[in-house]
């Protein structure tokens, strides 16, 4: 029974740790929220990890915003594909497929 409890405890702790940032961001549903808070009340290790993460996030939010001189945005016009690009991609795939088939035939004949 002790082994089962340790496995359950470990699973419960790992699940809690995975949900901590969602909890701090207010993104958990009612059931998950209740289960996580119940676990934090009973588990000192997870509670310490929660406190540490909460403090870290608090410190990060206090840091001044850094702005860059350069913009790192991607222009939409550079991202959109041109109608000819799709045809070219299909052609490349067809040529690659034929090349693979020829290579396999050659290996089969000479292998």
The tens digit of pLDDT for each residue in 30-42 reads 999 999 999 999 9
Q: State percent of the chain over pLDDT 70.
A: 75
- Here the tokens at position 57 are 């996030």
CA distances from 96 to 49, 57, 70, 89, 102 (A): 51, 49, 40, 11, 10
At residue 70, does pLDDT exceed 60? Answer: yes
* Segment 84-100, tens digit of pLDDT: 677 788 888 899 999 98
pLDDT at 111: 56
Residue with tokens 């052609």: 91
* Segment 9-36, tens digit of pLDDT: 557 888 898 999 999 989 999 999 999 9
d(CA 14, CA 20): 10
């Amino acid at each position: 029974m002790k082994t089962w409890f340790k496995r359950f405890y470990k699973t419960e702790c790992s699940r809690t740790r995975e949900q901590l940032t969602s909890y701090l961001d207010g993104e958990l549903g009612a059931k998950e929220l209740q289960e996580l808070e119940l676990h934090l009340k009973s588990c000192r290790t997870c509670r310490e990890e929660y406190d540490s993460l909460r403090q870290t996030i608090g410190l990060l939010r206090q840091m001044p915003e850094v702005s860059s001189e350069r913009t790192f945005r991607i222009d939409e016009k550079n991202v959109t594909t041109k109608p000819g690009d799709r045809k070219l991609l299909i052609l490349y795939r067809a040529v690659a497929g034929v090349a693979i088939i020829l290579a396999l035939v050659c290996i089969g004949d000479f292998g």
